[in-house]
Structure 1
Amino acid sequence: MSNILIVGGSSGIGLATVELFFKNNHKVTIASRHADKLNLAGVNAISLDFLDDNNVKSFFEVWSDFDSIIITATTPLAMGPFLSIDLIDARKSFDKFWGITNIIHYAAQYSKNLKSITVVSGAAADKRGAPITFLAATSTAINVLVESLAVELAPLRINAISPGLTETPLYGETSRETLQDWANASPLKRLAIPIEIAEAIHFVTLHPQMTGAVISVDGGSRLVSRS
């Protein structure tokens, strides 16, 4: 049984990942800004803001005995034409990179038994142009960070899962019909569901020979037009 920390496990992909690891008899801890709203039997929930580096440092000074860490936490999406997006919103979107950086930076120092870190980036890294310029920049930066740190911090294994369109609350007021229209551009023409992404996370997290990998779970969208 592994001791798993899931950062951002309160909904969507994160919650599905929590449930999958718990079902497979792992000890699971959730660290989330919404920890007070969680009530999952057998799962420890701790308040953590991954954007606050002092909060993250203090967290790992106390809670450090993890075998694997999974980062599913995210930030608001900044979508639209480049010249129309409020740059404050764009910076908030890119903060996901810094949140992931905070977790890895302190976890690698304080969690002495740590074997693997898995992060969730995004299939936008494989696309270009409006309305996802900032999403593409954020996901690409995360993927490069993962690849570089897999070398620098070895033998700690660090990998990324890059999901395509998935049925989660992340898209806010975007209708399911609009999401399906976007998904129709991919070979499989369907939205993923959170458990499908969680299964990929589970595989990569526990695989002893995988590091520096960016695994696409995107319905093949990276194989078609990049725009």
Structure 2
Amino acid sequence: MKDLAGKRLVIVGAGAHVGAALARDASAAGADLVLTGPDLDRLQRTASTLAVAPRVVHADLTDEESIARLAKEAGEFDHLVSTAAMPANGPVRELERAAVERAFAAKVIGPMLLAKHLRPRESMTFFSGVAAWRPAPGRVVMATTNGALAFLVQALAVELAPVRVNAVSPGIVDSGAWDGLGDGKAAFLRDVAERNPVRRVGTTGDLVGAVSYVMTSPYVTGTVLHVDGGARLA
């Protein structure tokens, strides 16, 4: 992230996992940060790990007014990254409309509203996911929202040009998101690694490196960068 020195980044979802790792690496590289998300306590925990104090701003992608306030508090900035996701998993016959709407708010409507209210000088990066290319039972909403986001970044790249708009699409990453599996986590990750062409699962470093690439590559826009170990091909 050496090219981010002196740049200002807005990181949506900086309270946990990949967003927090991105904040730490960007801060270490000399970037000025605005950390935002719906949980101020988690954002403050991330902020406490950084060498330079960031600005912490509450924003909820289901609430347009909070996004408008974020735009005012962020001021002028160079890059926006959103790792936001609100999964609504389960068989389609059992899905609750409210959960589906929250999932779309995080992955599709929220990014549209971020583009409406915030305008970086250089780039916007969103997170899609391998489920769009490898749908599975119980993952209908995840596949659909991630797929919609992949097309959204193309449309935004055209409309917001010359601001560049891209997406990073992770596969299974050992970011802490799977810790809830408890004793079953190791077996789950081992099974994923055995089926992936690269024979391993991803790390937060893989995703931070991918975000850094699309943010700082001036000839890349409207692109989905797959960081899934080839899982969508297996």
Normalised by the length of structure 2, the TM-score is 0.86
2:205 is aligned with 1:195: yes
Amino acid at match of 2:92: F
Q: CA deviation at 1:146?
A: 0.3
Give, in whole Å, the separation in 2 of the partners of 1:43 and 1:73.
Answer: 22
User: Superposition pairs for residues 127-206 of structure 1, below 5 Å?
Assistant: 127-171=134-178, 173-174=180-181, 175-176=184-185, 177-206=187-216
Structure 2 residues without counterparts, runs of 5 or longer = 1-5
Q: CA, structure 1 residues 161+149, in 2 after alignment: closer, same or farther (shift >3 Å)?
A: same
- Residue aligned with 2:180, SS: coil
Comparing 23-32 with 147-156, which one deviates more in the overlay? 23-32
Percentage of identical aligned residues: 27
Find the aligned partners of 1:139 and 1:9 in 2 and give their Cα distance.
19
Q: Give the CA deviation at 1:34.
A: 2.3
Deviation at 1:19, TM superposition (A): 1.2
In the TM superposition, 1:28-39 aligns within 5 A as: 28-37=33-42, 38=44, 39=48
1:82 and 2:87 are equivalent in the alignment: no
CA shift in 2, pair 1:101/1:169, >3 Å: farther
> Which stretches of structure 1, 4 residues or longer, exceed 6 Å deviation after superposition?
none
Higher RCO, Cα 8 Å, sep 6+? 1
Question: Structure 1 residues 95 and 183, CA, compared in 2 at 3 Å: closer, same or farther?
Answer: farther
Q: In structure 2, what is the Cα distance between the partners aligned to 1:103 and 1:153? A: 12
TM-score by length of 1: 0.88
Deviations for 1:135-167, whole angstroms, at most 9, x for unmatched residues? 110001111110111011110100000010112
* Equivalent AA in structure 1 for residue 144 of structure 2: A
Q: Which residue of 2 aligns with 1:19?
A: 24
Aligned-residue Cα RMSD (Å) equals 1.9
SS for the counterpart of 1:184 is helix
Other structure's SS at 1:5 match: strand
CA distance in 1, matches of 2:9, 2:134: 32
Judge conservation of contact 1:51–1:102 (CA < 8 Å) in 2.
Answer: no
* Matched residue count: 219
